[in-house]
């Protein structure tokens, strides 16, 4: 309360009842609940909702205009609305209280009604809710809802999401139910992010074969938008040329002939061969590089600092400056343009860590971890780097590049005996490894709550001294080992995967688009005698099969790998 005087010297006090607004809203809600002074009704289906004209007029320009003119609804004091009752009740709750609940069940209804009644704040909140909860499983349904002029910005946002995530959507039921016009719009879009052109072909052929008799008429046009020249050679050879739907079509055969001719043409002449090669959008043929760092020399049994980059697209290898410290059993991660190498072993477990920056082209030592570790898991979440477990280790730490410091986190509920791995999926970090009890456990950590819980046990457990790899794709974890398996986190169920083509140990793996690549490793021939494995294998998640794609002319085992971002500067 503030006291003051006016020009005549009279006292003036400005008073305010801080609870008045809440009491006012509470009284309004009570008046509506008891139907006191209600002078208008909303009919939806078999239900009637009694309300007050003045309250509706304040909240909704639609009703304000209705009551300012001589309308039929004003005269009859009622209106029949064609909408869902649950959505309308949520809107009325907002009008009488200033708040309401949005759920995945009512969001479309509330959004549509708020748009119709011109309640812009609720409409905007609904659109933000939809954006925050956009997923692979609902994006096509949401885009269909937003395909109307009043939701253009929302529709554009969803369309861009689909373009960006397209390589992960080609087997979703919502994708297979698209109309021809909708899939054609996507396939021909230069901004379509397929990572590899293989996925554009897979999308088109999957859609056609989902209803072959009804959709075969669209085969030629859809295939005309696939850049066959840029499909990977082994996929073209092993899959596309044997597809009966294409072999039996003269025009599609011509596409394949052009593609094969292009791929056997020397690279220096390709740009003159086919017009598609002159302005190929980068999203259709992204460049992927993998850093292979450290490891062990099998002859001397010494660990190394060597760093090499493998060009996945062109199957080439080039050097990167070596690390400062010899390491095997360490882990690599990429975050915000920096490459981080931590831990490992060089005769003893290491606490040290270092970072390679593309700006100064060298590795720089950073703050050491609190705990020494090797054969451990590493992942990123919310711009932090998490290191999890390792050989006879259950400790967890996170590194903040902004402060340059490590921070201790709660230990895992499993005391790992030899090797553990980690991967982040949505808002959780998952760790997998064999514990001292002999059980291969998958545990889950929620960084927001700071708690670990046991999530699952892998039916075919790891061997006592087995190094393995763990990668995530969508809502699944993939354990790459002698008995590889996939864990669907949505239903908490493991399914077996095909075995790798070469039985190897101490290899490294990364995820690129919808493929898992494994590099290096060794064949155990005799006791204390091993042989390097040079083959690069690729597992396609959608096709559920392994393919041998290259032979590296380098020796690499017990090291670490990480996929480098397209914008990483090597020059």
Find out whether 117 and 62 touch, Cβ atoms under 8 Å.
Answer: yes
Over residues 232-252, mean pLDDT: 88
Domain borders along the chain are 23-133, 172-276, 289-564
**What pLDDT is stored for residue 6 in this prediction?**
62
Which residue from 55, 57, 52, 115 is spatially nearest to 88, judged by alpha carbons?
115
Over residues 102-125, mean pLDDT: 97
How many beta carbons lie within 10 A of that of residue 22, not counting itself? 12
Task: Tell me the C-alpha distance between 40 and 226, whole Å.
Answer: 58
Q: What is the pLDDT of residues 135-180, one digit of tens each?
A: 999 999 999 999 999 999 999 999 999 999 998 999 899 999 999 9
Percent of the chain with pLDDT over 70: 94
Percent of the chain with pLDDT over 90: 76
- Residue 50's pLDDT band, with cuts at 50, 70 and 90, is very high
How many beta carbons lie within 10 A of that of residue 463, not counting itself? 15
Nearest 5°: phi and psi at 142?
-70, -40
Residue 17 DSSP code: -
The residue among 562 and 238 whose pLDDT is bigger is 562
Mean pLDDT of the residues in the chain = 92
32: pLDDT strictly greater than 70: yes
Give this prediction's pTM. Answer: 0.78
- Residue 247's pLDDT band, with cuts at 50, 70 and 90, is confident
Task: Tell me the C-alpha distance between 39 and 441, whole Å.
Answer: 63
**What pLDDT is stored for residue 275 in this prediction?**
53
CATH number of 172-276: 1.25.40.420
Over residues 233-238, mean pLDDT: 86
**What pLDDT is stored for residue 65 in this prediction?**
96
- Residue 315's pLDDT band, with cuts at 50, 70 and 90, is confident
Which residue from 87, 95, 79, 84 is spatially nearest to 29, judged by alpha carbons?
95
Domain 289-564 in the same topology as domain 172-276: no
- Residue 287's pLDDT band, with cuts at 50, 70 and 90, is confident
Q: What is the pLDDT of residues 497-541, one digit of tens each?
A: 999 999 999 999 999 988 999 999 999 765 566 799 999 999 999
For the domain made up of 289-564, the CATH class stated in words is mainly beta
293: pLDDT strictly greater than 60: yes
Over residues 24-44, mean pLDDT: 93
Task: Tell me the C-alpha distance between 568 and 555, whole Å.
Answer: 24
Return the CATH superfamily for domain 23-133: Potassium Channel Kv1.1; Chain A (3.30.710.10)
479: pLDDT strictly greater than 60: yes
Q: What is the pLDDT of residues 424-469, one digit of tens each?
A: 999 999 999 999 999 999 999 999 999 999 999 999 999 999 999 9
**What pLDDT is stored for residue 273 in this prediction?**
55
**What pLDDT is stored for residue 263 in this prediction?**
77
Which residue from 558, 561, 562 is spatially nearest to 295, judged by alpha carbons?
558
């Amino acid at each position: 309360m503030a006291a003051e005087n006016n020009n005549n010297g009279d006292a003036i006090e400005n008073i305010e009842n801080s609870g008045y607004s809440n009491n006012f809203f509470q009284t309004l809600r009570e008046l509506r609940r008891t139907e006191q002074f209600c002078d208008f009704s909303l009919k939806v289906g078999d239900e009637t909702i009694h309300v007050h004209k003045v309250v509706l007029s304040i909240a909704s320009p639609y009703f304000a205009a209705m009551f300012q003119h001589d309308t039929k609804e004003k005269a009859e004091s009622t209106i029949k609305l064609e909408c869902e009752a649950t959505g309308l009740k949520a809107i009325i709750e907002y009008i009488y209280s200033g708040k309401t609940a949005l759920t995945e069940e009512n969001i479309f209804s509330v959004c549509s009604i708020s748009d119709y009644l011109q309640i812009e704040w609720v409409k905007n909140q609904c659109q933000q809710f939809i954006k925050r909860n956009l997923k692979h499983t609902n994006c096509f349904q949401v885009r269909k809802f937003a395909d109307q002029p009043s939701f253009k910005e929302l529709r554009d946002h969803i369309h861009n999401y689909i373009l960006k995530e397209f390589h992960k959507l080609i087997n979703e039921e919502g994708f297979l139910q698209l109309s021809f016009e909708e899939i054609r719009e996507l396939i021909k879009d230069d901004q379509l992010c397929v990572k590899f052109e293989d996925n554009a072909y897979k999308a088109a052929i999957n859609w056609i074969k989902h209803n072959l008799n009804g959709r075969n008429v669209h085969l030629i046009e859809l295939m005309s938008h696939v850049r066959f020249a840029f499909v990977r050679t082994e996929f073209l050879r092993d899959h596309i040329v044997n597809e009966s739907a294409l072999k039996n079509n003269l025009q599609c055969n011509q596409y394949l002939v052009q593609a094969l001719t292009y791929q056997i043409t020397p690279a220096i002449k390709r740009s003159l061969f086919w017009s598609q090669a002159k302005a190929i959008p980068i999203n259709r043929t992204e460049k992927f590089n993998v850093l292979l760092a450290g490891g062990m020399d099998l002859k001397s049994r010494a660990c190394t600092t060597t760093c090499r980059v493998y060009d996945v697209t062109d199957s080439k290898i080039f050097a990167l400056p070596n690390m400062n410290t010899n390491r095997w059993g360490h882990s690599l991660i990429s975050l915000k343009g920096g490459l981080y190498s931590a831990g490992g072993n060089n005769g003893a477990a290491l606490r040290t860590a270092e970072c390679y920056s593309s700006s100064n082209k060298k590795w720089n030592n950073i703050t050491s971890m609190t705990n020494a570790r090797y054969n451990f898991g590493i992942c990123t979440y919310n711009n932090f780097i998490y290191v999890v477990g390792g050989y006879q280790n259950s400790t967890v730490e996170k590194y903040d590049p902004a402060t340059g410091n490590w921070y201790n986190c709660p230990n895992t509920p499993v005391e790992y005996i030899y090797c553990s791995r980690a991967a982040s999926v949505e808002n959780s970090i998952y760790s997998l490894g064999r514990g001292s009890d002999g059980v291969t456990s998958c545990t889950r950590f929620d960084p927001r709550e700071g708690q670990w819980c046991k999530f699952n046990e892998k039916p075919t457990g790891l061997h006592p001294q087995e190094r393995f790899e763990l990668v995530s794709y969508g809502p699944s974890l993939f354990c790459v080992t002698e008995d590889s398996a996939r864990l669907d986190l949505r239903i908490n169920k493991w399914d077996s995967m095909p075995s790798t083509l070469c039985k190897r140990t101490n290899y490294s793996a990364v995820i690129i688009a919808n493929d898992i690549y494994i590099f290096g490793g060794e064949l155990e021939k005799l006791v204390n005698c091993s042989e390097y494995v040079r083959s690069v294998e690729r597992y396609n998640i959608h096709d559920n099969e392994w393919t041998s794609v290259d032979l590296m002319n380098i020796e690499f085992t017990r090291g670490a790998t990480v996929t480098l971002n397209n914008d990483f500067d090597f020059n």
